[in-house]
Structure 1
Amino acid sequence: MIFRTTFLLNSIAAALVVTMLGACSFAEDEDQVRVTVIEDGPAQINPVGTRLNFASSTMRAAIAKGLVGLDAEGRVVPALAARWIISEDGLSYIFRLFDAKWDDGREVTAERVARLLRERFSELRRSRLQYDVSVVDEVVSMTGRVIEIRLDSPHPNFLQLLAQPEMGLFRAGHGAGPMRLLSEDKGIRLKQFDEPSEEEENVAEEDQPWVSLRSEPAANAIARYRSGAVQVVLNGKYHHLPLVDAADISSGDLRLDPVAGLFGLRFIRANGFWAVPANREILAMAINRPALLTSFPGVSAWQSRLKIIPEALDVKGINTYPDWAGMTMEARIVFARKHVSRWKASEGPVVPLTIALPGAAGASILFKRIQSDLKRVGLDAKRVGMNQSADVELMDEIAPYDSAQWFLKQFTCAKTSVCLNDADAKIAEADAATNLQIKARLYAEVENMLVEHYNFIPIAVPIRWSIARQGQRGFAVNPRGWHPLNTLVGIPIS
């Protein structure tokens, strides 16, 4: 059964038509690219601060590069730093800087970059990267062009951390490219950072390579693309997919990034029936993941997941799958139904599970599927908004780097009251370990503990999609789900 009604699709299509009436098309020009970013919350773009929405992160990465950055394929590449050396123990990262300038013409020096990094690491202790930056012990300038970052313990993915958009540096409000602000008269417009040559100074601003950036709700963004008013749409998520289907976007234009991360239900409250890990396990068993994922149009490659840490990050010899992973769906339903019947016979009725979800068409599909699956085993669910009191909340987050550490730290007692102090202690032990094999083994043991605790119910790999025509310059799907603006008009990061 697919939970999409004619009324819903007609409503979506009507919203798209209304939005398209205000859009205007433009002639194709690969040196002038218009980008819109989907934001469910406030559409304001502000690249300053620590809690950046996707559009703000995209702008910050464009005008304020850090030591390293990400290219169109999600690979770490030089930015302010021309090259680097990592010590054998993984505790020292030495960077040699390019000769570069801030956008006010002042020279980029190691002393200033070191100072800015120390300040930024301190600021980011109150951000999504708070656990990651805590590994930094010291940042020092060694010469006019060399800085060193010293760590308390090895962080094998530290370069990926440094490439995050939050790590872009501003000096007194001035970035160092790869782009600079051209105008804000008709929205944000960015151009190449380099100072123009004598010939380029005579070129009108409209004739220079530039990228415009805006953010708006999904329906508006998709409508602009359909009308030809933008060439690239970024930051699409699972709950926006029915809009893509209603707008009849070409399957070749819908680009799915092969990201890693967490997509599932995290318990934030556990009362009554749901206070018992064995009962939370019933929720994990009851969800028919393949049927749920195929309820969404146009994403046949969407992968289900039964475990927390992706298979690629596993440690050999430790099984982190749940015990019932080998059972058929029919056997799981029979087992779960009997378990619930025994509970009700001894303890009485079970209050419906309250699930916090976004107010979007795709979230309705997800909820109806989960509710139907629960009813098959004698349970029920109730949907509430993301800011309302709930038993579980939907997690839909991309991992910023490839490490078991990030996945496990999303379920500590700092993140949810439904947690294990013993798991937190073992995570701390792993963080402090300097031997990478010991660190990996400890993290794998934590996952075993969390699998049995069931404070998180994995459902699938996160979905992140963009819309761009085939052949769009400087655009590529990638494991980071990140799409730099500068590459869209052929501007290198350094």
Structure 2
Amino acid sequence: MHAWVKASWLAAALATCAVPAVAQQTDIRIGVALEPPILDPTAGAAEAIDIVVYQNVFEGLTRVDQNGAVQPGLATDWTISEDGLTYTFTLAEGVTFHDGSSFDAEDVKFTFERILGPDSVNAHKEFYEPIESVTVIDPLTVELKLSRQIGNFLFDLGRGDAVIVAPESADNNANEPIGTGPFAFVQWDRGSRVILERYQPYWGEAPALSRATYLFIADTGAMTSALLAGDIDGTNNFGQEALAVFEGNPQFTVLVGSTEGETILATNNQKAPFNDLKVRQAMAHALDRQAIIEGATYGYGTPIGSHFAPHNPYYVDLTGTYPHDPEAARALLAEAGYPDGFSATLKLPPLAYARLSGQIIASQFAEVGIQLELINVEFAQWLEDVYSNKDYDLTIISHVEPFDVGNYANPDYYFGYDNPEFQALIDELNGTTDDAQRRELAVEVQEMLARDAVNGWLFQLPQTGVWNSKLAGMWPNSPIEGLVLRDIHWTE
């Protein structure tokens, strides 16, 4: 018997008799589009990892709140030396990992030495490379000394890449994560779900939820059915094409906010013909950004002209750098030696915005002579082919990490963008703490990426959550990757 039939039968039966009042619900079932490849955020780049474990299972010295501000985490306080190179952290007392082992400064030392070690698989080791030494002062005091100033250091310590792990369990965190957070890992039914439960000895304020189940539902239609049937209680990022089903329905709350997700037509800059600036400029002129936003996000996306979030105070609007101009695109292709255009592949992960954008872009590129073969891949294959092996021409993806423009300073990153002038700019930006100077440098960084047409800048990904109307405490915006459970609660 189907679950909804059972539920209807049971409701009818209960309606005929008096029943005692039941306790307020404390569990939640959340639908998410992608299954994480692993559950260790210090060993993988996929946002799907942080959606499940960030601030839930694992915690860092600091944490990022829903406004993007840095808050105390496992470090309750800190001091910074006058030269900005030495950070001394006071750690929370009475903290234990989910296996019962105690947390102390030695775990902090282990975590950062692991991140910086020669065998590190941390996706963003570069954020922490300026850490010159980690010194244990006493069990609840640790000192991090930097080789140079880092303007975003406290924020970077609050990323999923820097959550604190224990030497006893670190090697198994990919499959059985053990952290210090308010929720402990229970089980992972691959292809189906991950279950977390409230960790009773949690050192901080106990969450209202007792249990959270993440169900993997890639298809928007299936997600819609699951929401309407009550099989899930909500999702943090629902397909915009079906939002109208829930808008105005009193049983649901629709939360529309912003994310850090720059959605781009990522380009293999090391591969011909994309290593030719004129070709990349031609592709930029071929893109009708507004048409892509209307077709792929149903108007909810925000246009971007470089790799920077529009809500960032350093943002500058560069959407007019290469305006939609098919004639200019054809002329640039001819100058580059492709008067009849060329053919290329476009690998698309299983995300609605990517596959819808891909169809629209293929049509727009065809107008200027660029013929695209659309190749749909599963996310694990995308990570292997595109992100790891750089085996691609073009792809579409949202880069959801905050202030991740520094990726372009790494010539080995999957874009293959190698510009020493840009790399020097990023070094200067990372080492600057004065806000006015940081803004000037950030604007220069954005302008250089826009001029070089490194990627096709499409739109800032919106966050469109759909939740049971009796739930509260969900983040409307996503200033950092994750779906933080600590404030979510049932109101009745």
Q: What TM-score do you get using the length of structure 1 for normalisation? A: 0.75
Work out whether 1:357 is the aligned partner of 2:383: no
Instruction: Classify 1:114/1:250 alpha carbon distance in 2 versus 1 (closer, same or farther; 3 Å).
Output: same
Aligned pair partner of 1:375 in 358, 366, 379 = 366
Q: How far has the Cα of 1:159 moved from its partner?
A: 2.0
**2:199 is aligned with 1:177:** no
* Counterpart residue identity of residue 407, structure 1: V
Inter-partner Cα distance in structure 2 for 1:460 and 1:263: 5
SS at match of 1:354: strand
> Which residue of 190, 194, 201 maps to 2:197?
190
For the residue of structure 2 that corresponds to 1:372, the secondary structure is helix
- Aligned residue in 2 for 1:407: 405
SS class of match (1:462): strand
Q: Which residue of 1 aligns with 2:235?
A: 233
The amino acid across from 1:51 in the alignment is: G
Paired position in structure 2 for 1:290: 290
Look up the equivalent residue of 2:246 and give its one-letter code.
I
Q: How does 1:248-267 map to 2 (within 5 A)?
A: 248-250=245-247, 253-267=253-267
Q: Look up the equivalent residue of 1:258 and give its one-letter code.
A: S
Deviation at 1:417, TM superposition (A): 6.6
Match among 158, 163, 179 for residue 163 of structure 1 = 158
The aligned length equals 442
Q: Supply the distance in 1 between the matched residues of 2:311 and 2:194 (Cα, whole angstroms).
A: 42
Which residue is equivalent to 1:7? none
* Per-residue deviation, residues 189-209 of structure 1 (Å, max 9, x unmatched): 41143379xxxxxxxxxxx95
Q: Is contact 1:114–1:141 with CA below 8 Å preserved after alignment?
A: yes
For the 8 Å contact 1:260–1:399, the answer to whether it is kept is yes
Distance 2:312 2:68 in 1: 18
Deviations 1:54-108 (A, max 9, x none): 4543235323322222345554322222122233433222221221231455543
Distance 1:313 1:189 in 2: 33
Structure with a larger share of its residues in helix? 1
Secondary structure of the corresponding residue to residue 308 of structure 1: coil
> 1:154 matched to which residue of 2?
149
1:336 alignment partner in structure 2: 329
Instruction: Give the structure 2 partner of residue 126 of structure 1.
Output: 121
Q: What secondary structure, in the 3-state scheme, does the structure 1 residue paired with 2:462 have? A: coil
Aligned CA distance change for structure 1 residues 450 and 395 (closer, same or farther; 3 Å) = same
User: Does 2:48 correspond to 1:50?
Assistant: no
1: CA distance between counterparts of 2:415 and 2:428?
Answer: 22
Distance 1:187 1:51, change over 3 A: closer
Q: Show CA shifts across 1:377-434 (max 9, x none).
A: 344322224448532222311123x4xxx31423631114743342354257427746
Amino acid at match of 1:217: I
Secondary structure of the corresponding residue to residue 295 of structure 1: helix
Cα displacement string for residues 213-235 of structure 1 (whole angstroms, at most 9, x for unaligned residues): 22413235443322112213235
Partner residue of 1:92? 86
Structure 2: tracts of 5 or more residues without a match: 12-21, 170-177, 377-381
User: Residue 72 of structure 1 contacts residue 474 of structure 1 at CA under 8 Å; is this kept in 2?
Assistant: no
User: Structure 2 vs 1, CA of residues 168 and 284 (structure 1 numbering), >3 Å: closer, same or farther?
Assistant: same
Task: Name the residue aligned to 1:108.
Answer: 103
Whole-Å Cα distance in 2 between the matches of residues 31 and 223 of structure 1?
23
The change in CA–CA distance for 1:322 and 1:31 in structure 2 (over 3 A counts) is closer
Give the match's secondary structure for 1:373: helix
Distance 1:123 1:248 in 2: 51
Distance apart, 1:475 and its partner CA: 1.0
Structure 2 residue 210 is the aligned partner of structure 1 residue 210: yes
CA distance in 2 between counterparts of 1:334 and 1:184 reads: 53
List aligned pairs for 1:378-393, cutoff 5 A.
378-385=369-376, 386=382, 387=385, 389-393=391-395
- Does residue 1:469 correspond to 2:460, yes or no? no
Q: Is the 8 A contact 1:285 1:333 kept in 2?
A: yes
User: Which amino acid is 2:480 matched to?
Assistant: R
CA offset at residue 53 of structure 1? 4.5
- Contact kept, 8 Å, 2:183 with 2:196, in 1: the verdict is no
Partner deviation per Cα, 1:121-146 (whole Å, 9 max, x = no partner): 54895232221121222221223322
> What amino acid does structure 1 have at the position aligned with 2:71?
V
Cα distance in structure 1, aligned partners of 2:42 and 2:321: 45
Which AA in structure 1 matches 2:483? Answer: H
SS at match of 2:471: coil
In 1, Cα distance between equivalents of 2:471 and 2:74: 27
The secondary structure found in structure 2 opposite 1:119 is helix
